[in-house]
Structure 1
Amino acid sequence: MENLTLDRLLGYVAERNLKDGDALPSERSLAEALGVSRRDLRGALASLEAAGRVWRGVGRGTYLGTRPLKFSASLSSLRAGSSPADIAEMRLVLEPAFVELATSKASPDDLAELEKCARRNAMARDDDEWQQWDHRFHLLIAQATRNPAIIALMEVVNGMRMKPTAREKTADQDTRRHFAEQHQAVVKAMIKRDGATAAARMRDHLLNVQWRIPAQRE
């Protein structure tokens, strides 16, 4: 149902020719317009938010595009001059520690959602679909830490990765399949509550990501 809701939502945006910066209707109005439940709509919006395609602010509503710099003071300094290699290096330092913490704090629902996300990742048909589920996977791990600072930082990292010059491509199916297997290995370790192994599997994954990114600066 989540994929159907996402398809309907993207169709709604396309039919109305909505652009980055445009506001979406309230959840209630949008769910009624799409003929879906608010729960399914929230899941679809969460996927788009993780992929940097919408942003939500408390008391502000939901908007298309990435979060504007004026609403994310830390984003400008992190994004300025960052190459794909810079971002990959930062992720390699941070994310294994995030997943180790998440392993100790994740709820059963968190783990079930991560497992589901990893499966969807494995079924991605192209780079755009891969990126959607990949960004959601890494954000879900941050959310499982229950640490607002880590969650905010991961949202910023996902936003940085959406820049055309900073986006790492997973264009071939073999690469996508390999990365999906690594995501699944991370989740398996988390389900066993083995934080050290989960961190090691995440480190292996991010080393693979880093290896595939040219070292040149922008």
Structure 2
Amino acid sequence: MSVRDEGRAAFTQLQAFLAQLEPNDHGRLPAERELCEILGVSRGALRKALAIAESEGRIWRHVGKGTFLGSKPVHDLSEVSAVANYASPAEVLRARAMLEPSLCREAAINASAADLVELRLSAKRGREADTWRRYENWDNRFHRAIANATQNKVLIMIFDSLNNVRRTVAWGRRRDGGAAPAPNHHSFIEHDEIIRAIADRDGDAAEAAMRKHIDSVTRKMMEGNREAN
């Protein structure tokens, strides 16, 4: 097998690993040596696989800190914190209502097969989550997957900035009403509708499904329901 083929084979293994990775607050992957053992590949093949994943926006690497899930953040964290200190949940939701439906439309046009796998996995794991924190991490991964599916780095950058403000302003709050989302939590069905529209390449339906989802979150938050998400 050529070096190039080894890299592609390792990338296939890496994709499967990333699909099963439990998200956390930082999204950090194991060290290279551990990844080699997990995937059963050489260090050289792993590095080629990581380079492919990074070029596709699946991961990003920070020298001295490690490898992380998702695209490399391009925002200024201090600026995000400053915005979050003054933004209200209502402002965040209004911004989401303006941006995320359009991202869904673009995702319906440009999503790859790998993007659809990631969306379905995130929705499934969110439904199975046994704590609010795990659900929120999978929910965040779901919405990030939609942005990534646009294949537009500028839109991904804008989403990442908004999402960081969103998590700081609204989603660090204490949860009441149970240790995990109820089986009939509104987001489960709404996420499924979004995925179906994107998979069908129906931009109008995808945009409408996300608008419906954000409207549900907004309505529940206005009602004082801490289970909005």
Q: What range is the shorter-chain TM-score in?
A: 0.5 to 0.7
Task: Give the TM-score normalised by the residue count of structure 1.
Answer: 0.68
77-86 vs 201-210, which moves further: 77-86
- 2:112 aligned with 1:107: yes
Q: Percent identity?
A: 25
Is the contact made by 1:26 and 1:61 (CA closer than 8 Å) also made in structure 2?
no
What letter is aligned with 1:36?
A: I
Segments of structure 1 that go 5 or more residues without pairing to the other structure are 11-19
CA contact (8 A) 1:79 1:160 kept: yes
Verify the 8 A CA contact 2:101 2:208 in the aligned structure 1: yes
Choose the corresponding residue for 1:166, options 170, 191, 194: 170
2:126 counterpart of 1:121:
yes
Counterpart Cα distance in 1 of 2:220 and 2:212 = 13
Secondary structure, in 3 states, of the residue corresponding to 2:221?
coil
Distance 1:161 1:106, change over 3 A: same
Aligned length in residues: 186
The alignment's TM-score, normalised by the length of structure 2, stands at 0.65
Deviations 1:19-54 (A, max 9, x none): x99xx797303436xx53398xx8xxx9xxx9xxxx
CA contact (8 A) 1:126 1:171 kept: no
CA distance in 2, matches of 1:175, 1:96: 25
Distance 1:30 1:89, change over 3 A: farther
Stretch moving more, 129-138 or 147-156: 147-156
User: For residue 29 of structure 1, what is the amino acid of its counterpart?
Assistant: R
Q: Does 1:31 align with 2:16?
A: no
1:13 paired residue number: none
One of 177, 180, 200 as aligned partner of 1:192: 200
Structure 1 pair 175–153 and aligned structure 2 pair: CA distance change class (3 A): farther
Structure 1 vs Structure 2 CA RMSD: 3.9
Distance 1:98 1:74, change over 3 A: farther
Match of 1:62 among 66, 69, 84: 66
Q: CA deviation at 1:73?
A: 6.4
Gaps of 5+ in 2: 1-16, 225-229
Higher relative CO (Cα under 8 Å, sequence separation at least 6) belongs to: 1
